[in-house]
Amino acid sequence: MKKWIPATMATVLMASMLAACSTKPAEQPSASSTASAKPAEKTKFSISLRTLAFGHVEKSPNINEDKWVKKLEELTNSDMDIVLVPHKEYEQKMIQMFATNDIPNVVQGSGGVNGKEMAGSVKAGVFMPLDDLLKQYGPNLLKKVPKEAWDNVSYQGKIFAIPEYLSNPSRRAIFIRKDLLDKTGLGVPKTVDEYMAVLRKFKEMGVENPYMGRENFKYSDSFFGAYDVFPYLSMFEKQGDQILPKFFDTENMTKALQTYKTMFDEGLINKEFATINATVFKNTILAGKAGMWSMNANELLQWETQLKANVPAGDIEIIGSPTGPDGKGGHYLYGPAPRAYFISKSVKNAAQIIQFFDWMMSDEAEKFFTFGIEGDTYKTVDGKIDYKSPTDATAVDEERYRQSFLWLVQDTTYNKGTLSFTDEGKKLMNVYDTTLKNEGRDGISFEPRLEALMKNPDISPLSDQAPPVILQHMVKMVYGKESISDWPKVLEEWKSKGGNDVIKEATEKFNNKDSGTTVSMPRK
């Protein structure tokens, strides 16, 4: 990605450039004696990776010279050229990448084959099908990655990517400063009203951000979950004889928006929450200036360690999400493949690249990513690993980077190897198996993605964000610039900009089981 062009030009050029991509089958080397054996010659390839707001990545002067990258290359006999895609500009940069045809050998996508950021590249023939290569060179991948994840990265019956996967789709959770909750004298909140009571008490106690929100309502969707009205286009439901996005439930959507507006009016959420980026979000929490927030549960122990560096008495716990009128709640359930890796059709060493990813499923890989380098981050005593999780903030960032960012293919629910070493870790695993297992919201979904969603960017965001035309009104309503009672007008605007076509297509494909589209019903 040496050259970037303006997004508007990228959109115009995208279709023609994709069509021009080579469709000549790549030449593959012969199979090695063992499918997952390391190749004799170094496997050289370029790979695009989203920075994902990882501090260690964003602070690195040259990620390709990072010691963990070098060690990974040594262990796999590979030579990677990592091209970082900025987290904040991910979608735009990906579209530009395809438009300029400056495509790395391996491209990291955010999930399925039809994600908006993939710009129709799979359908255009940019990437190669991997079925035969996986059978010969990816035995560990085929054995360990679940069918649901493979289905998510398949197109017209063929596998086009290697997926990271989730065994537990309930990944996001409510975090609370338990030390502050104890000072309120209140119990653990359950309903929306009880949550509001705790937030008001936090404000009385002087907590700067009783609830820590984040831009675009990302990681601040807890109360939408209570009312089962996530503003995302990955979640549909049947209303009458139509299949509609969940935000068409006007009664509950207005209740959710009113909850956030009350929080805004009473100072229970930062007045600038609509523009708070990932870095400010994290730094504010780690500085001890937040009482409650939402994020991925597997971050708990590392964030608590970093918090204690600034607030020694700080204690973070995960609690059940707020429940709504139906007695249920929870965050949206993730798809089975949060990230996936596509191999360009033009590469000559795809077999070795498959072996590189297959190694990630090995015991050697698990030891490396979990514990690091023997003699540096851990030692072996009487045949057992002696590993102590870091407490220094920088070292915690580095551990998180190694275990999450660099371990490209794994079950990202949580790292069992690390958690099983401590009582705190075992407690977190129990949270997954109890609290999170029993909550979460889902909806009807379609794979491949609805074609109508790919035609108009204003009504079609990434899966876990509200469409721009919807989001702008949500923010204005919470800020008091528009009346929440005007929500039906917002729906009409969305429909007029292409939403009617989305509803029509979703309804037709739901009713026509032989449409070639996989229609998934709610898991909860």
Mean pLDDT of successive 10-residue stretches along the chain, which has 524 residues: 34 40 43 55 96 91 97 98 90 88 94 76 94 98 94 91 93 96 98 98 98 88 93 90 96 97 97 92 96 94 93 97 96 90 97 98 96 95 90 90 96 83 89 93 86 79 77 96 98 95 95 78 87
Same domain, 239 and 253: yes
Residues with Cβ within 8 Å of residue 403, at least 6 apart in sequence: 369, 370, 415, 418
Same domain, 116 and 248: no
Structure confidence at residue 464 (pLDDT) = 66
The reply to whether 371 falls in a domain is yes
Structure confidence at residue 31 (pLDDT) = 41
Q: From 380, 415, 450, give the residue that closes a domain.
A: 415
Strands 384-387 and 162-163: unpaired
Half-sphere exposure of 476 (CA within 13 A, CB side): 14
Structure confidence at residue 16 (pLDDT) = 40
Same domain, 251 and 377: no
The reply to whether 424 falls in a domain is no
Same domain, 182 and 243: yes
The Cα–Cα gap between 472 and 216 comes to 9
Same domain, 308 and 184: yes
Structure confidence at residue 463 (pLDDT) = 54
Give the residue numbers spanning the domain of 247.
172-333+440-520
The reply to whether 38 falls in a domain is no
Same domain, 159 and 201: no
Domain CATH number, residue 281: 3.40.190.10
Same domain, 479 and 375: no
The Cα–Cα gap between 210 and 262 comes to 13
Same domain, 444 and 300: yes
The reply to whether 6 falls in a domain is no
Strand segments, DSSP code E, in 367-408 are 378-381, 384-387
The reply to whether 8 falls in a domain is no
Structure confidence at residue 515 (pLDDT) = 66
| Pair of tokens at residue 21 | 């991509």
Query: Any idea which residue has 């104890």 for tokens?
Result: 182
CB 297 within 8 A of CB 414: yes
Structure confidence at residue 25 (pLDDT) = 41
CB 344 within 8 A of CB 106: yes
Closest Cα to residue 305, out of 410, 195, 428?
Answer: 428
Same domain, 154 and 66: yes
Same domain, 308 and 399: no
Same domain, 445 and 492: yes
Structure confidence at residue 462 (pLDDT) = 57
What is the total count of domains within the chain? 2
Structure confidence at residue 200 (pLDDT) = 98
The reply to whether 17 falls in a domain is no
